Chain A
Amino acid sequence: MGRLVFDVAHLFAGGLVLVSFMLLYQDRMFGLLNTFALHALVVSLSVAWQAYVQSAPHLYITAVIALVVKAIIIPVALHRIIVRLGIHRTIEAVVGIGQTMLAGIGLVALSILVMLPITAQAGTLAREDLAFSLSVILLGLLMMISRRNAVSQVIGFMSIENGLILAATAAKGMPLVVEISVAFSILVALIVIGIFLFRIRERFDTVDVHALERFRGERA
C-alpha cells in the first residue's frame, strides 16, 4: 500500500510538470486552452489523491473546485471570448520554443536541486511534491515572460496557482489556506476574464500585451 501511495502521488505530480512543459510549446490559442484544462485536471486528480491518502475530506472540495472551475469553466469561457472577439489564433513567442524548453529543463533541475536536500525532514511524500510544485511554479513564470499575449499570461499565472495548490496539499494538515486560496484564485480568474480582457478589447484591436506597451507615460 505504502509504495502505491507514493507512486500514484508522484505520477500525478510528475504529470503536472510534464503538462507544464506542454503549455510552454503551444503555439495555438485553442491548443493552449485544452492543455491548460489538462493541467487543471491533473492537479485536481493529484489533490483528490492527497485527500484520500491523508484522509482529509476537505481537500476533495479543493479538487472539485479545481476540476469544475479551472478545467471546465475557465477554458470554455476563454474559448468563447477568443471566438467572439476574433483574437489572433496563434501565439507570438518572445523567445524561440527550443530555447524556452531548454530553460524549462534547467529550471526543473534547479528546483529539484534546491528542494530535495532541505526538505529531508518533511517526509518523503511532501519532499518530491514540493520539488515538483516549485518546478511548476518556475515553468509558469517562464511561460509568463516568454509569451507576450495577455491570454497566455493569464494561463501562465493560473498554472502557477496550480503549482501552489500542489504544494499546499503536499504540506500535510495545512489548515484553511487551500479553501481560501482556491476561492481567491477563482475571483482572480473571473476578474481577469470578465473585466480585463473586455476592457482591453474595448480600447485596442488586440489582446497582445505588446500593443499595450506603446503607451508609456514617460514619453514626453
Chain B
Amino acid sequence: MNEPGALVASAILIIPASAAVVLALLPDDRATARLNALGTLLTFLASTALFVVRPEPGPFLIVDDVNVVFIVLTAFVGFTTSVFSASYIAHELDKGRLTPVYLRFYHGMYQMLMFAMNLALLANNVGLMWVAVELATLTTVLMVGIYRTPEALEAAWKYFILGSVGIALALFGTILVYLAARSVVGEGLDAMAWNVLVQRAGAFDPALLNLAFVFLLLGYGTKVGLAPLHAWLPDAHAEGPTPISAVLSGLLLNVALFAVLRFKMVMSANARALAPGPLMVTLGLISVLFAAFMLYRRHDIKRMFAYSSIEHMGIITFAFGMGGPLANFAGLLHMTFHSLTKSAIFFSVGHIAQVKGTQRMADIRGLTVSHPVLGWGLVLGVIAIVGLPPMGIFMSEFLIITSTFARQPLLAIALALGLLVALGALLQRLNGLAFGDPYGKDAPAQASFVPMFAHLALVLAAGIYLPPALVSWFQHVASLLR
C-alpha cells in the first residue's frame, strides 16, 4: 500500500467528519459559516490530489478511475455551495427564519452529509456504501425539516418514509449480491468488495443477480428520483433550505446513481445475467417524459427546478442504460454539467426567493430589471439547463440523442420529444420570471454571485472547448462503465 494515497483517501473522509464535530461544538456564531466553507475547501483540495496519488484498493476503500470523477465533482460543488450557503444563511438569520441555535446543527449536518457522500463514493464494500447512503439520507431528512413549518415537516416525513423504504429495498438487493458472490468468492469481506465482484461476476448465479439488480435499481432508483419513485423529491427540494436543494440535486442524486452504475458494471460482467440497460432506459425515459409534462403545471420556483432535476436524472440514467462508449461518455458529461448548472440555478433561485420573499412564480416578475445580476444569472442558468447552445448541456444532450438515434431511432425520438417539451415549459416560465415589468418586493440582493457564475462559466467554457485531456479521461471512464 502506498502511503500518500491512503493518506489522501482518508483525508477526504476525516476532514468533513472532524469539521462536523467541530462545527457542532463551536458556539453559535456567524463566523462558523466561513469555517464550514474552509472545511469543504480543504476536502476539495484533498480530492484533487487523487489525480496524482491514489491508494491501493483495500477491503473498505477504493479509488479507481470511475469514482475519482464523482469524488472531485462532489467536493467541488460541496465547496461552492458552502460559499453560497454562508450568504444565504446570514440572510435567513436576519429574517429570523432560522434561529442561531439551528446554525450549529445546520453546519454540523452539512459536513456530515459531505462525509457520507464521500464515503459512499470511496467505499469498496457494498455494505459500507449502503450505510453511507443511509447516513446521507438521514442527514438530508433532518435538514429538509429544519424550518419546522407544516410544509417542511410534510416534506421531511415523506422523504424519510420513501427514502427509507428505498434504502431497505437496496439492502435486500445488497444481501442477494453477497449471496450470489459467496458461492464463488467464499465467505468474508471479499464477497462484498467491488473490485472482486466485478472481476469474478462472470461465475455468479445469474438468477440471483437478476433479482438483486431489480431490488437495487428500485432501491437506489428511489434516491435518484426516477419517475414512479420520485414523489419525495419535489417536496424535499422546495421546503428545505436552498443550499440543501442545490446539494441534493447536484450531488446526492449522483451518488445514488453511482451506486446503480457500480451494480450495473457487475451485471454487465456476467454474460448470462439480465441486461441491465433496457430497465434503466425505460425508467429514464419515463422520468424524462413525466417530468417534462409536469413542468407546465408548477407554481413554485424551487419545485419547478426539482422536476427539472428528475428530468435530467432521467436523461443520465437513459444514457447509461443505452451503454456503449459514446452514450456512457455523454452520460458522464451530462451528469457533470447538470450538477454544475442545477446547483448554479439553485444559488440564484435561493437569493431570488429571499429578495422577493416568496417562491411563488406568479409573484416574481421582471427580475432582469429589478435585480440584473441575479436575473441574468437565472436566464443563463435556464438557457444552459434546457440545452441551448453554446452551453455544455447542449453538447451532451446532442451526443446522447445522436448516439441513440444510430441504434434505436424510436427511443431517440421519444427522448427528444421530452427534451423539447421541457424546453418549452422552462422558457415559458423564464419569460415571466425574468422579463416584463418588475413586480413584488425589490429589496437589494446581498448575495455572493461568485459560485453561481463560476459554475455557469465552467459549463459555458466546456460547451465551447473541452480540453482533450478531459475528453480522453472521460472516454476512458466510459469504456470502464461498459
Q: Which residues of A contact B (CB under 8 A)?
A: 114-115, 117-119, 121-122, 126, 130, 133-134, 137, 141, 144, 150, 153, 157, 160-161, 164, 167-168, 171-177, 180-181, 184, 187-188, 191-192, 195-196, 199-200, 202-204, 209, 212-213, 215, 217-218, 220
Asked if residues B208 and A119 are in contact (CB atoms below 8 Å), the reply is: yes
Asked if residues B145 and A199 are in contact (CB atoms below 8 Å), the reply is: yes
Nearest Cβ on chain B to A162's Cβ, whole angstroms: 11
Asked if residues A141 and B188 are in contact (CB atoms below 8 Å), the reply is: no
A199–B145 CA distance with the chains assembled, in angstroms: 9
Nearest Cβ on chain A to B114's Cβ, whole angstroms: 18
Residue of A144, A160, A175, A200 near B127 (CB, 8 A) is A175
Asked if residues B303 and A173 are in contact (CB atoms below 8 Å), the reply is: no
Residues in A neighbouring B360, C-beta threshold 8 A: 220
Asked if residues A196 and B157 are in contact (CB atoms below 8 Å), the reply is: yes
Q: Which among A121, A172, A180, A195 has the greatest number of chain B C-beta atoms within 10 A?
A: A121
Asked if residues A164 and B179 are in contact (CB atoms below 8 Å), the reply is: no
In the complex, B34 has a CB within 8 A of chain A: no
Interface bits B153-189 vs A (CB < 8 Å: 1, else 0): 1101100110011001101101110110011000111
Asked if residues A217 and B208 are in contact (CB atoms below 8 Å), the reply is: no
- Which A residue sits closest to B359, measured CB to CB? A217
Provide 9 A-B residue pairs closer than 8 Å at the C-beta atoms, listed in order of the A residue.
Answer: A115-B211, A118-B211, A157-B161, A172-B187, A177-B171, A200-B157, A204-B150, A212-B150, A215-B151
Given contacts A134-B172, A164-B171, A181-B171, are A217 and B151 in contact (CB under 8 A)?
A: yes
Asked if residues B175 and A168 are in contact (CB atoms below 8 Å), the reply is: yes
Tally A-B pairs: CB < 8 A.
137
- Which of B22-30, B128-136, B244-252, B416-424 lies at the binding interface? B128-136
- Which B residue sits closest to A187, measured CB to CB? B138
* Given A175-B187, A175-B192, A177-B175, 12 new contacts (CB under 8 A): A130-B176, A134-B172, A144-B165, A164-B175, A177-B192, A188-B164, A196-B156, A196-B160, A199-B153, A217-B359, A218-B300, A218-B303
Asked if residues A191 and B157 are in contact (CB atoms below 8 Å), the reply is: no
In the complex, B125 has a CB within 8 A of chain A: yes
Given contacts A177-B127, A217-B238, A217-B300, are A171 and B154 in contact (CB under 8 A)?
A: no
Asked if residues B238 and A160 are in contact (CB atoms below 8 Å), the reply is: no
Of residues 229 through 248 on chain B, the ones whose CB sits less than 8 Å from some CB of chain A are 234-235, 238-239
Residues in A neighbouring B183, C-beta threshold 8 A: 121-122
Given contacts A176-B128, A209-B157, are A171 and B175 in contact (CB under 8 A)?
A: yes
